[in-house]
Amino acid sequence: MSVDAANPLAQELNPWLAADARFNEAAGRLAMDEGIRKILRSPSREITVYVPVLLDDGRIEVFTGYRVQHSIARGPAKGGIRYAPDVSIEEVRALASWMTWKCAVVNIPYGGGKGGVICEPSILSPGELERLTRRYTAEIIEFIGPEKDVPAPDMNTTEQVMAWIMDTYSMHMRQTVTGVVTGKPLDLGGSRGRPEATGRGCMIVTLEALARLGMKPEETTVVIQGFGNVGGMAARLMSRRGFHVIAVIEYDGAVYNAKGLDIEALLQHRKETGSIREFAGGEEIDRDQALFLECDVLLPAAKEGVITSRTAPKLNCKIVCEGANGPTTAPADHILSEKGIFVIPDILANAGGVTVSYFEWVQDRQGFFWNEDLVNQRLEEIMVNSFRDVVKYSEKYKAHNRLAAYMLALDRVAFAIKLRGLYA
């Protein structure tokens, strides 16, 4: 993803520039030492690999893959692997830094990492995907491991992909190493509650925001952008808790019902048809305009760069809960703040996934697995405490929530670096 200096929107949408702008603002407010700033700004390691794969038709294709380890000051790097045609080193670098801050905000003992392979997974057969995954794993194998860097699923990667990574790593180690990845199938050392974790975390922090603003779930309307694992699960859990999910926005359309959608029926409709369109329980509306519907909570759970300096002024909500990574650009932060919208930033809101990934890693290392009630109980405890920590920083420094979350994260990582000192 190259940055077009002549195109302001392209610069605004560049994830690394957004991450750097927020880092600089938070570090400035903390009056952080310049040397510590340099350490925190720079990735620990960036790896580029070229992955040859034998395709089903006998041709050989070479794919480009990345793994960025932003920080290992607080523990092993942690972060997903995505497969997409637009993966770039700038994107992976930014996502790795966000993982550092996310893990620090919820105070779990990880640093930040991220990986990606430039490919179009929808046109690859299962066999091609497996060969791509195994060769990519082999190329980065010396840099990953339970004590080094623990990958997880991300865009277009699944628990099956994690199983292939675990198996490839285990074959090289000559022993089964379940803790090398998280987001695995239950039968291979996965954790109960992991598929629902990110959506559940979004619901938990939204409930905390409602309590702070004197609102009740049963009187709260929600618009959700994205109906995949995060958005779909958040919709299901929120609906069960009494929220009125009035609109769902997907890549191919949007569906609306002022009284609240029947989420279970919509999930079933999407399963049967592959789309939310032509759903009998709601009316189809323009997907771009649906983002600006009047509602109490807007939950973007699809992709980066949705709330920009152009779209932020049109939002008509009281709370933004960021289920996706980087849905709001840096220039839009201040617009949302001026509008008085209560933002639950991504590095807090969607941290439920990495939190339960941490639980999975702990369970793998213990060889002892928890029931789902215990997973959910511990997730709620961490998400609630983290929400309150961010709000305390917001009040202490008179900063909007995203800035407060970054300040809290930078403070924690910087403290760990100072305690460890510099190896020379």
Catalytic residues: 114
For residue 291, the Cα-to-chain-centroid distance in whole angstroms is 20
Fill in the DSSP letter of residue 182: S
Report CA-CA distances (Å) from 401 to 135, 277, 396: 41, 35, 11
Distance CA 200, CA 4 (A): 38
Torsion angle, CA of 327/331/333/336, rounded to 10 degrees? -100
Q: Edge to edge, what strands does the sheet with 77-84 contain?
A: 45-54, 60-71, 111-118, 77-84, 149-153
Kind plus residue range of the DSSP H or E element containing 332: helix 330-338
198, 153 Cβ separation under 8 angstroms: no
Kind plus residue range of the DSSP H or E element containing 112: strand 111-118
Amino acid identity of residue 46, one-letter, is E
In angstroms, what is the C-alpha Rg of the chain?
A: 21
